[in-house]
Copies of this chain bind each other. A is one copy, B any other.
């Protein structure tokens, strides 16, 4: 069967962007008459479907999608972005990025900036500060697709793509218990983003399941960074009973925890350390860092697929279900507890 001509083929044929084709078809004023004529001629020449032509004539799409993330520095978000791009490129969409830098004010500016840049839709992961979702409503009001991924909020009523974070917290904790650790602490964040609560609940549930007590002094609430990890580990080393394992809210925080423990002579895996996100460096530090893989490639691919479905519908929000991705444990040296026999030799 012959592949149907898309707006993308017309763009290729003429060596212009999909946005130019779309704007030419929809009579956007900044497009010259000559370009418009060339586009319509190419559409005819390539047997572009008259129905599609009619709809493109109305749409005026830019084929630009906006993506808002807390920070592009995290490998986790960079991988999601990469996979969104991969998933969208055959349909002619390009993405532009905006970083909230974990600030609600920046996130609000990001939504406005991207809408002003005429994006066709927005995919966003919330900042740690986001306790209000009113700024996202303008996207919905413009009948453009909005998808929230990874960092979501209870109040938002649009399609989401998330990790099973309860399971991730449970999995990290149960792994440590199975390795023989018993006093397991958690260095995480105070912020109200749902995923962190879910992980903490998973941690508590796993402790209960294995008849271990939840010790509130073992839960350190701060931010997520190398420095926060150092600070959290420093606090925990002065807490009685001293923890024999620490779960860190992400791999950067885990890096800080390890550094602090090493300087205190409590070199992991003597005290076990596990993070979240499987950052690029995690396999290469010493000891190599156990972590929970949150499958950012899958998450990015799911974002792209959902966006393409939404943008193809009259009402983007019709019949779109949420997607939940299951985490995977990556055990490495930082949680390989020494055997009793080995400790005795020391």
In the complex, per-residue mask of A144-176: 1 if CB is within 8 Å of any chain B CB, else 0: 000000000000000000000000000000000
Q: Which residues of B contact A97 (CB under 8 A)?
A: 72, 96-99
Q: Which residues of B contact A117 (CB under 8 A)?
A: 62, 64, 96, 117-119
| In contact, B255 and A112 (Cβ under 8 angstroms) | no
Q: Which of A96, A97, A113, A226 has the most CB of B within 10 A?
A: A96
| In contact, A19 and B116 (Cβ under 8 angstroms) | yes
| In contact, B62 and A73 (Cβ under 8 angstroms) | no
User: Whose C-beta in chain B lies nearest to the C-beta of A79?
Assistant: B73
Q: Does A199 contact B (CB under 8 A)?
A: no
Bound CA–CA A19/B17 (angstroms)? 25
User: Whose C-beta in chain B lies nearest to the C-beta of A19?
Assistant: B116
Q: Which residues of B contact A252 (CB under 8 A)?
A: 280
CB distance from A172 to the nearest CB of B (A): 21
Q: Does A42 contact B (CB under 8 A)?
A: no
| In contact, B71 and A73 (Cβ under 8 angstroms) | no
- Number of copies of this chain that the complex holds: 2
Q: Which residues of B contact A57 (CB under 8 A)?
A: none
CB within 8 Å of B: which A86-119 residues: 94-99, 101, 109-110, 112-114, 116-119
| In contact, A96 and B114 (Cβ under 8 angstroms) | yes
Q: Does A286 contact B (CB under 8 A)?
A: yes
Bound CA–CA A72/B62 (angstroms)? 23
Q: Does A81 contact B (CB under 8 A)?
A: yes
CB distance from A322 to the nearest CB of B (A): 27
CB distance from A178 to the nearest CB of B (A): 27
CB distance from A304 to the nearest CB of B (A): 15
| In contact, B94 and A113 (Cβ under 8 angstroms) | yes
CB within 8 Å of B: which A258-284 residues: 259, 280-281, 284
Q: Which residues of B contact A73 (CB under 8 A)?
A: 72-73, 75, 78, 280
Bound CA–CA A71/B118 (angstroms)? 23
Which single member of B17, B96, B113, B118 contacts A17 (CB below 8 Å)?
B113
Q: Which of A72, A97, A110 has the most CB of B within 10 A?
A: A72
Bound CA–CA A11/B284 (angstroms)? 47
Which single member of B17, B66, B109 contacts A116 (CB below 8 Å)?
B17
In the complex, per-residue mask of A197-222: 1 if CB is within 8 Å of any chain B CB, else 0: 00000000000000000000000000
Which single member of B64, B75, B99 contacts A81 (CB below 8 Å)?
B99
Q: Does A46 contact B (CB under 8 A)?
A: no
Q: Which residues of B contact A98 (CB under 8 A)?
A: 94-97
**Nearest 10 CB-CB pairs, A to B?**
A281-B281, A72-B72, A117-B117, A286-B286, A97-B97, A73-B78, A96-B96, A284-B285, A94-B113, A17-B112
A-B CB contact pairs (8 Å), 5 listed:
A96-B113, A96-B117, A116-B118, A118-B118, A259-B284
Other 8 A-B pairs with CB < 8 A, given A82-B101, A281-B284, A284-B285 = A17-B113, A19-B113, A20-B116, A72-B81, A72-B97, A94-B113, A116-B118, A118-B118
